[in-house]
């Protein structure tokens, strides 16, 4: 089997999609499980730990998709994660498994996705400027 110039980008796209899907599945399980599964493996020393975990989880989900997809899709990634956050809160309320929906959880999740997408956008812009400077200096 020969390696083409497309093999690595295709593998990276596949790997990022797999990581994204795995994170979505894991965090969906965590948010829809009865009780609080994070209490089993995290100490409760951080105030508002649940909100912090929502922020981190949705930020983590934004990264694999935001890194490999073109910049024009960052808005789609953000809106998809905001919709997932709303769906999770609705599902928690509808499931009757001892979980309660919360506007604050939804806001923490949405803010985590927003901060991650904004960070990715800033990194892409900085990388683009650096690449443009290198191209200009190489042409001179």
- Domain extents in the chain: 7-139
Residue 51 has pLDDT above 70, yes or no: yes
Report, as an integer, the average pLDDT of 53-73. 89
pTM exceeds 0.75 for this model: yes
Report, as an integer, the average pLDDT of 68-86. 92
Q: What is the pLDDT of residues 80-106, one digit of tens each?
A: 999 999 999 998 888 877 778 889 999
135 confidence band (pLDDT: 50, 70, 90): low
94 against 129, higher pLDDT: 94
Gap between the Cα atoms of 29 and 33, Å rounded: 6
The answer to whether the beta carbons of residues 69 and 61 sit under 8 Å apart is no
Report, as an integer, the average pLDDT of 4-33. 83
The answer to whether the beta carbons of residues 67 and 120 sit under 8 Å apart is yes
CB neighbour class for 20 (10 Å; exposed up to 12, middle 13-18, buried from 19):
buried
């Amino acid at each position: 089997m020969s390696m083409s110039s497309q093999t690595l980008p295709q593998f990276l796209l596949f790997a990022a999609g797999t990581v994204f899907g795995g994170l979505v599945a894991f965090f969906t399980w965590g948010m829809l499980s009865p009780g609080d599964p994070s209490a089993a493996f995290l100490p409760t020393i951080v105030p508002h730990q649940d909100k912090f975990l929502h922020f981190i989880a949705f930020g983590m989900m934004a990264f694999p998709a935001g890194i490999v997809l073109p910049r024009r899709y960052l808005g789609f990634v953000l809106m998809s994660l905001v919709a997932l956050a709303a769906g999770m809160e609705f599902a928690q309320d509808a499931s009757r498994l001892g979980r309660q929906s919360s506007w604050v959880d939804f806001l923490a999740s949405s803010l985590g996705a927003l901060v991650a997408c904004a960070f990715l956008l800033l990194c892409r812009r900085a990388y683009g400027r650096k690449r443009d400077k290198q191209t200009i200096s190489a042409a001179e």
